[in-house]
Amino acid sequence: MNATARLWKLMLPFRWWIALAVLLSFGTLGAGVGLMAMSAYLISKAALAPQFADIAVIVTAVRFFAIARAALRYAERYVSHLATFRILTRLRVWFYVTIEPLAPARLQQLHSGDLFTRISADIETLENFYVRVVVPPLAAALVAALASVILGAFDVRFAFALILFLILTGIVLPLLTQRLSRTPTEHLIRTRAELNAVLTDEIQGIADVIAFGQAENFRARTRRLNDELDRAQLQLANARGMANALAVLFAALAGLTILLLAIPLVSDGQIDGVFLALLPLTAIASFEAVQPLGAAFQHREASRAAAERLFELIDAPPLVQEPAQFIEMPHNYSIEFRGVSFRYAPDEELVLDDVSFKIREGERIAIVGASGAGKSTLVNLLVRFWDAQAGQVCVGGNDVRAYRTEDLRKHIGVASQHPYLFNGTLRDNLLLAKGDATDQALDAACHVAQLGELLASLPLGYDTLVGENGLKLSGGERQRIAIARLLLKNAPFVILDEATANLDALTEQKLLNSLESFLRGRTVLIISHRRAGIQNAGRVLTLERGQIKVSAEQRVSDMRSAISVA
Amino acid sequence: MSIERRLLAENLRARKLLYGAVALSFLATALWLAFAWLFSAVVNRVFILHQTLDQVAVLCALIFGLIVVRFALMWGSDVIAQHSANALKRNLRERLDAKLFALGPLYTRGERTGELVRTATAGIEALDEYISQFQPARILAVIVPALVLFVILFLDIWTLPILLFTGPILVLLLALIGKRTQDLTARRFLEMSWMSAHFMDMLQGLATLKLFGRSKEQAQTIETISEQYGNTTMDILRTAFQTSLVLEWGATAATALVAIAVSARLMTGLMPFETALTVLLLTPEFFLPLRQLAIKYHAGTAGKDAAARVYTILDVPLTATLAPQTNVTRALLPTRLDIFFDDVQVAFDNGERIALDGFTLKLADKQTVALVGKTGAGKTTVANLLLRFVEPTRGKIIVGGIPLHEIDADTWRAQIAYVSQQPHLFAGTVAENLALAKPDPTRAEMIEAARAAHIHDFIAGLPHGYDTPLGERGARLSGGQRQRLALARAFLKNAPLLILDEVTSHLDAANEEQIRAALAQLLPNRTTLIIAHRLALAQDADVVAVMENGRVIEKGSPRALLEADSKYGAFVAAYQGGAR
């Protein structure tokens, strides 16, 4: 199914809104035609110096069309925009709901600056699909039919002439413009996305850009993209300007043609001269209906491109499937990896290569290894962000794929090296872990997570805004918030994935000490490249290039000498 | 000066082009008025005077000519208007980009990057329609009605009152409604950027949401926020619709009134038919430019708001903490990198937040100094001072006898190799990221630097080696790999001053050791500032300075400090796992 058809399907629930808007739009345009025709007729009739009674009806018609036009215009705009916002909301929710099962695997494959443009700009483009693309042609067709019938009643050639010029303006011209603007439009969209990505990169990395003296290079790059943008816009303005001017030209030509056709008929007495002004002016007035069609075609193109990009984004099978028949999580809190092999993409190397180990319920083990050895991948498999290609990851004695992902994740608390904080308050970020936590519960968690001092220093306390991605806080503070979340979540499985890597040594030690009583009795997996925090682990495994190297159990005391101490 | 004036004063070329476009449009309208008159003349001759087609052929040919010339004028006007918009946008973009660099990381970090990017892209683009369409419409809305009135003055003075009454009332109503629209549009723009930031936040944090089982319910949040946004916009649009209602009503009512009034006079024979028809055809032209302005009104307010956002950034003063303190900059560099921080204070937010206070420290040429201390002690601010991302609010920094602020910032930065706490890896290949440090490095140089940073083996193992593209922020690299790549970048730069901000915090012990060994070769030849809360690197420093509350509280060689009962000793003890 192509993008336009899918878009239509997405809009299907709004068909009655569309019908109503088309009718109102037709009414507005029709009243405009009626006003012009009746006014011209009124003047012509008056020129023949009749009695007032002869023109009373025409005067009423003129008044009626004048009032109807304004009232219908208001109604039409109101209805169509209201529908647009409903559609917009539906589009956003639809997109989120569709992408949600694909995350995070699918989103990590894409450049997020680009993703941002795509989603927010594309959805806003589609917002206009209905008001600017769907309604105008339908309303135009109705107006064209009406005007042709009126003119055709006098002479069928008038109707043909009108239809010819209406088709030229409403269909041929937009198609021509579309042809002329297709390449620049594509160029424009691509350049905009690229510019957005470059600027995101530049602004996020500005410290490194300046420190390396690369500001000039980056500016040159944006300048080049901007020049391309300008060029594309100029080509578009050229096509647009021509189309607008041609549309006006055709309307005037239609009027002139009908005038030229009508003059001999009036001279011959086949048509009463009183209609001579009315005929060309009715024709010209009806062009108001086809003038927005050029824009409609352009918006259709833009909508198609935007829709295609959005569909492309979501048209991927989820890497992780929910089980058709799931089992409940048992009260058995063990973890086992059985011969697990994994790679992120078919053309990439194995990140995990036949990894097997077991953590008994209530046991605490540490996995150490160089960065890039695949430690964090263990976590991704455990919480089912990805699925292993070979082997089994078992939790509570069953394959993780047997549980609903929601249940599984509810039982696992993870504090990672780069926790994500949402751009809201500290409280919002903590409540994420436990929506109904009281302030006392938050206090307790923050106390253990060594956030007491930070909180005391913040005038707004829990209501402090943390900034985009929590960047108003330091890396260490973000990590401690992640620990507080972990405490609040209170899950039987705990994973500390380099969870204290950004803390200074003193704070780290204090944190680990205060965390001790929470960890006791839970099944704990500690991932680390350093000694701190693993001294209380029952066993230490070493992961090297995706393989467990020291699979034999090794007491921590042995490790003390193995890992060099600073 | 209003934003509008300021925008127009911005660029002479843009202004000239704009007026050119307006002139062509105005001419096109004048031709249309001529068309109305000729058309009425033809109808009059045939209908009233019973002339034949042959007798009006010349007039019809004239009409045809008018139509064609008008077509060319309209087309030209549009293209020229776009040229004008492009000229203005180019100018603003350049200045915005330059300003962002001048403000540096301390400014961009605080703002939401999403909003900044939006201002730099969509914000500037909003000026496109503002210049190419709204501005011409605004001027035409004044001069075209004036022209129509002028013509009608000669044709039929009795129609003048109708237009003169409806016209100003319309303008008055528009002004009243327009003011409200303006306020609401500002709100809409804010909400829009806030909303897209929120949407992006949800998408970026999806993994976290899933871990907490909260991802599904966010659909509801998005719906609520989207509806809120829809409601705000409907509020604005309702006002806009009132505008169009008024305009539509004004134009149609005037047309109806004119038609009825001239008919009355036609019937009593006070007016010739030809004039009556011309006046009827001219009446909509009086209102048309006002209606067109109303259509563009949204582009106008959106453009003005976007311009306000752009100017907010352009007008951020380069305050004491950001700007070089004097204009006397020399290209001259000190021969020795003895760096002396003399009682330096750095305060942010107008003195509300003091990052450094009474900070005094000496780095001798080719010496390695390690700053240790708790998070928030001010260590990173010291690095920012050296990088000239921030300037002291009090005190000074002397390098080799020259005040640092007198040295040209870019020349100075060329002397520094810097690895930040969270080094940014750019979209591009590994090689492109390395090349940031040095223009056109050879592959051999890159490999050497990568080897020194212990990242070569990893890079060589990537599918395309050094030409493997990295995702945004090196999505597929672990923290340690990212940092080692940044370290390689710094090694490649091979600068005399090295600043390492927490470089080994993401490295495992073995790697940290290797980096330490690599640094051991590099350090003796250059002046180095190491910021460390992991202490392995501090041991190799010549001097360790312990910081607290923005100042140095302890200083000495690591060995001497360890022997004394020092804070440093406490740090080391904690680092070694409380095993002391």
Chain B, nearest residue to A534 by Cα: B577
* Same domain for A137 and A14: yes
Q: What mean pLDDT comes out for the span A472-481?
A: 87
**Where does the pLDDT of residue B579 fall: very low under 50, low under 70, confident under 90, or very high at 90 and above?**
very low
Alpha helix ranges (H) inside A48-172: 52-99, 105-108, 112-116, 122-127, 135-154, 156-167
Q: Do B110 and A485 touch (CB under 8 A)?
A: no
Q: Whose CA is closest to B495, among B388, B417, B385, B419? A: B417
Q: Which of A107, A233, A376 sits opposite B206 (nearest CB)?
A: A107
The 3-class secondary structure across B63-121, one letter per residue, is HHHHHHHHHHHHHHHHHHHHHHHHHHHHHHHHHHHHHHHHHCHHHHHHCCHHHHHHHHH
Please count the other Cβ atoms lying within 10 Å of the Cβ belonging to residue A211: 31
Query: In angstroms, what separates the C-alpha of B67 from chain A's closest C-alpha?
Result: 6
Asked whether residue A322 is domain-assigned, the answer is no
Q: How confident is the model at residue B341 (pLDDT cuts 50, 70, 90)?
A: very high
Given an 8 Å threshold on Cβ–Cβ distance, is A432 in contact with B421?
A: no
Q: How far apart are CA B520 and CA B421, in angstroms?
A: 20
Residue pair A84/A129 in contact (Cβ under 8 Å)? The answer is no
Contact yes or no for B200 and A116 at CB 8 A: yes
Residue B549, sorted as left (phi over 0), alpha (psi -120 to 50) or beta, turns out to be left
Q: How many residues does chain A have?
A: 566
Q: Is A373 in the same domain as A432?
A: yes
Chain B residue with Cα closest to A96: B219
Least confident span in A128-142, A169-183, A315-329, B104-118: B104-118
| Structural domain range at position A117 | 3-314
- Gap from A469 CA to chain B (nearest CA, Å): 8
Mean pLDDT across B279-296: 87
Q: Are A244 and A362 part of one and the same domain?
A: no
- Averaged pLDDT, B538-543: 84
The Cα angle at residue A364 between residues A358 and A369, in degrees rounded to 5: 75
Distance CA B508, CA A443 (A): 33
Phi, psi of A391 (to 5 degrees): 85, -175
Percent of chain A surpassing pLDDT 70: 94
Domain count along chain A: 2
Residue pLDDT, tens place only, B12-43: 899 999 999 999 999 999 999 999 999 999 99
Whole-number pLDDT of residue A112? 52
Q: Any idea where the domains of chain B sit in the sequence?
A: 83-314, 334-415+497-575, 425-494
Q: Which of B189, B208, B237, B246 is most worth mutating to test chain A (most A CB atoms within 10 A of its CB)?
A: B208
Instruction: Compute the count of residue pairs across chains A and B with CB atoms less than 8 Å apart.
Output: 475
Q: Which two tokens stand for residue A460?
A: 């707004």
Residue-level pLDDT at A88: 77
User: Alpha-carbon distance B138 to B133, whole Å?
Assistant: 9
A 10 A CB-CB count for B565 gives: 8
Q: What is the CATH number of domain B334-415+497-575?
A: 3.40.50.300
Window 300-329 of A, Cβ < 8 Å to B: none
pLDDT of A561 over the 60 cut: no
Q: What's the mean pLDDT when you consider all of chain B?
A: 83
Backbone angles phi, psi at A500, to 5 degrees: -120, 20
Task: Give B101's contacts in chain A (Cβ within 8 Å).
Answer: 206, 209-210, 215, 219
CB A113 within 8 A of CB A196: yes
Whether residues A26 and A110 fall in one domain: yes
Of A38, A116, A253, the CB nearest to B114: A116
Mean pLDDT of chain A: 86
Q: What is the model's pLDDT at position B567?
A: 78
Domain shared by A299 and A345, yes or no: no
Name residues 159-188 of chain A within 8 A of B (Cβ). none
**CATH architecture type of domain B425-494:** 3-Layer(aba) Sandwich (3.40)
Please tell me the distance in Å from A41's CA to the nearest CA on chain B: 10
Contact A42 B263 (CB under 8 A): yes
- Confidence category of residue B580, pLDDT binned at 50, 70, 90: very low
**Which chain B positions have a beta carbon within 8 Å of A385's beta carbon?**
207, 210
Residue B510, pLDDT > 80, answer no
Segment (H or E) for B171: helix B159-204
Give the mean model confidence (pLDDT) for residues A188-202. 86
Instruction: Tell me how crowded residue B110 is: count the other CB atoms within 10 A of its CB.
Output: 13
Chain B residue closest in CA terms to A192: B121
A221: contact with B, CB 8 A cutoff: no
- How distant is the alpha carbon of residue A142 from its chain centre? 35
**What average pLDDT score do residues B417-437 get?**
84
> How does residue A468 score in pLDDT terms, banded at 50, 70 and 90?
confident
Identify whether A477 is part of a domain. yes
Domain match, A306 and A359 both: no
Q: How far is Cα B277 from Cα B78, in angstroms, rounded to an integer?
A: 31
CA distance B394 to chain A (A): 23
| Residues A306 and A447 reside in one and the same domain | no
Indicate which CATH number applies to the domain containing A423.
3.40.50.300
Q: How far is A543 from chain B (nearest CA, A)?
A: 12
Contact B507 A349 (CB under 8 A): no
8 Å CB contact of A383 and B211: yes
Cβ of A206 within 8 Å of Cβ of B98? The answer is no
Which stretch, A267-281, A539-553, B390-404, has highest mean pLDDT? A267-281
Q: In this structure, is residue A415 part of a structural domain? A: yes
| pLDDT score of B292 more than 60 | yes
pLDDT band per the 50, 70, 90 thresholds, residue A64: very high
Residue A219 to residue B101, Cβ atoms within 8 A: yes
Q: Which of A132, A202, A430, A473 to mutate to test the interface with B (most CBs of B within 10 A)?
A: A202
ipTM of the complex: 0.79
Q: Is residue A248 part of a domain?
A: yes
**From A5-19, B184-198, B416-430, B438-452, the region with the lowest mean pLDDT:** B184-198
Q: Are B334-415+497-575 and B425-494 equal in CATH topology? A: yes
Q: What is the pLDDT of residue A108?
A: 66
B570 to chain A: nearest residue by CA? A506
Q: Which of B117, B242, B509 is the closest to A563 by Cβ? A: B509
| Residue B370 predicted with pLDDT over 80 | yes
Task: Find the range with the poorest average confidence among A467-481, B26-40, B417-431, B511-525.
Answer: B511-525
Cα A481 from Cα A490, distance rounded (Å): 14
Residue A562 has a pLDDT of 45
Chain A residues 68-97 within an 8 A CB cutoff of chain B: 69-71, 73-74, 77-78, 81-82, 85-86, 88-89, 92-93, 96-97
Q: What is the mean pLDDT of residues A451-475?
A: 85
By CA distance, what is A246's nearest residue in B?
B71
Least confident of A551-565, B342-356, B472-486: A551-565
Closest approach of B347 to chain A, Cα-based (Å): 17
Distance from CA of A379 to the nearest CA of B (A): 11
pLDDT tens by residue, B49-60? 999 999 999 999
Of A69, A71, A100, the CB nearest to B206: A100
Q: What is the CATH number of the domain that holds A235?
A: 1.20.1560.10
The closest CB to that of A273, out of B47, B71, B200, belongs to: B47
**A460–chain B Cβ distance below 8 A for any pair:** no
Query: What's the pLDDT at A192?
Result: 87
When CB atoms are compared, the residue of B39, B227, B506 closest to A89 is B227
> Given CB atoms, is A194 within the 8 Å cutoff of chain B?
no
- Range with lowest mean pLDDT among A170-179, A387-396, A477-486, B186-195: B186-195
CA-nearest residue of chain A to B506?
A501
Contacts of A47 in chain B (CB under 8 A): 47-48, 266, 273, 276
Residue at token pair 């050229």: A238
Chain A nearest C-alpha distance from B2 (Å)? 27
Name the residue facing B463 among A96, A347, A535 (closest C-beta). Answer: A347
Q: How confident is the model at residue A553 (pLDDT cuts 50, 70, 90)?
A: very low
Q: Which of A65, A80, A111, A203 to mutate to test the interface with B (most CBs of B within 10 A)?
A: A203
pLDDT at A340 over 90: yes
Q: B575 and A505: CB-CB below 8 Å?
A: yes
Mean predicted confidence (pLDDT) in A360-378: 84
- The pLDDT assigned to A261 comes to 96
Which pLDDT band holds residue A165 (cuts at 50, 70, 90)? Answer: very high
A339 touches chain B (CB under 8 A): no
| B141-171 confidence digits (pLDDT tens) | 999 999 999 999 999 888 888 888 887 777 7
Question: Which of the pair, A348 or B221, is modelled with greater confidence?
Answer: B221
Instruction: State the pLDDT confidence band at A555, using cuts at 50, 70 and 90.
Output: very low
Q: Examine residue A323 and state whether it is found in any structural domain, yes or no.
A: no
Pairwise CB contact (< 8 Å): B219 & A260? no
Report the pLDDT value the prediction gives residue B139, as an integer from 0 to 100.
Answer: 94
User: Which of A51, A214, A263, A377 is the mutation pick for testing B, counting most B CBs within 10 A?
Assistant: A263
| A238 inside 8 A of chain B by CB | yes
Does domain B83-314 fall under CATH 1.20.1560.10? My reply is yes
Where is the domain boundary, A282, A314, A346?
Answer: A314
pLDDT at B79: 96
Query: What one-character DSSP code corresponds to residue B330?
Result: B
Is residue A329 in a domain? no
Q: Assess whether pLDDT exceeds 70 at residue B578.
A: no
Among the ranges given (A266-270, A480-484, B115-119, B136-140), the one the predictor scored with the smallest mean pLDDT: B115-119
Distance of CA B153 to the CA centre of its chain: 50
Question: For residue A425, what is the DSSP state?
Answer: B
- Encode pLDDT of A96-131 as tens digits: 888 888 877 776 666 555 566 667 778 878 877 878
Reported as a single tens digit per residue, the pLDDT across B227-249 is: 877 777 777 777 767 777 877 88
Confidence of residue B1 (pLDDT cuts 50, 70, 90): low
* Residue A113 pLDDT: 54
